[in-house]
Amino acid sequence: MKAAKMDKHKPTPQYFWKGRNADSIEYWHQKVQCTESLLADKNSEKKIALLGYAVDEGVRRNQGRVGAQIGPDSIKSVMGSMAYHLPESLAILDYGNIWLEGSDLESIHELTQSTISELLRHRHFPVILGGGHDLAFPHGAAIIGHLAEKGESLGILNLDAHFDLRQKVNGQGHSGSPFLQLHEYAKTKAVPLQYVCLGIQKAANPPFLFEKAKLTGTWWLESDSCNLSEWDKTQDVLNSLLDKVNKVYLSIDLDAFSSAFAPGVSAASPMGFDPNYALRVIEHLAKSKKLISMDVVELNPSFDQDLCTAKLAARCIEFTLRKIWE
């Protein structure tokens, strides 16, 4: 690996993965294998890749409260003790963290996109841990490039209180702009793209963002409709998305949850949805067999309480993977 990449990559030490001792495979820490580099495992078998995006420059650019850079390690710190219910033959590889010291977000995006592209090429299911939501641009761009080679379409399902369809600022992307950037990028690759956002809060999105959503053909549900008692509304949106696209990229912004469940985020709100709703959405997507990749973003451990937000992120990941492999 080139030295320039080494400066932007921190491997996860194997001892970081901890949990209860067991003679057989019972917990995640017994399954996860840490790699020394970002070079993708080229084994032909299907496998899971855990990759941290330890970057919050995009949050700073979007005038948010920084701290998401330490989010990936916070999530990993609680994953090791989770009970393991996936196939024992399935490899789970921890590729460490892509990290940024400074403000050169664009070079980090290039590295992230190329890394995820390689993971997809070599039969990984990428699970990217954020970090700011600007991650969605290089993550989504990697998937778009991968699907362009196959002539397939992409659906993006974003659980989020915000559209994140803002314009770049001074030509630079940020945590509020990734999905507008992806719309533009998908056009250059001739990949049909349908963006869906569940959890939108009017108090967090000015009128011009609703207009931008309409102009980009975005589908959305506002947060007050995102509950199990009105599940038919969500089910209709999800079924329409699944009928329209070949693959789905799932992005979970933890600020979509009520701060009662997720206090440790960059933009906390008491008005978000609860975990049971999110798990129902995830299960519906997983059963479709169209999920190609996922990320969980905007964890800010500086504001977390008893690691409850980190544990929520970990449980969302574990649940998604378990449902995919059921």
Write the CA distances from 202 to 28, 41, 221, 222, integer angstroms: 39, 43, 11, 8
Half-sphere exposure of 71 (CA within 13 A, CB side): 36
318: three-class secondary structure by DSSP: helix
Q: Cβ contacts of residue 45 below 8 Å, gap of 6+?
A: 89, 91, 123
Give the integer Cα–Cα distance in Å for 176 and 167.
Answer: 8
Half-sphere exposure of 203 (CA within 13 A, CB side): 9
Question: Which pTM does this prediction carry?
Answer: 0.97
Q: Is the pLDDT of residue 4 over 70?
A: no
pLDDT digits (tens, 9 = 90+) for 184-210: 999 999 999 999 999 999 999 999 999
Neighbours of 258 (CB within 10 A): 18
Q: State what percent of residues in the chain have pLDDT above 70.
A: 98
Give the integer Cα–Cα distance in Å for 6 and 37.
Answer: 8
Residue of 267, 159, 116 whose CA lies nearest to 203: 267
Q: Which helix (H) or strand (E) holds 200?
A: strand 193-200
pLDDT digits (tens, 9 = 90+) for 115-135: 999 999 999 999 999 999 999
Residue of 16, 55, 21, 122 whose CA lies nearest to 297: 55
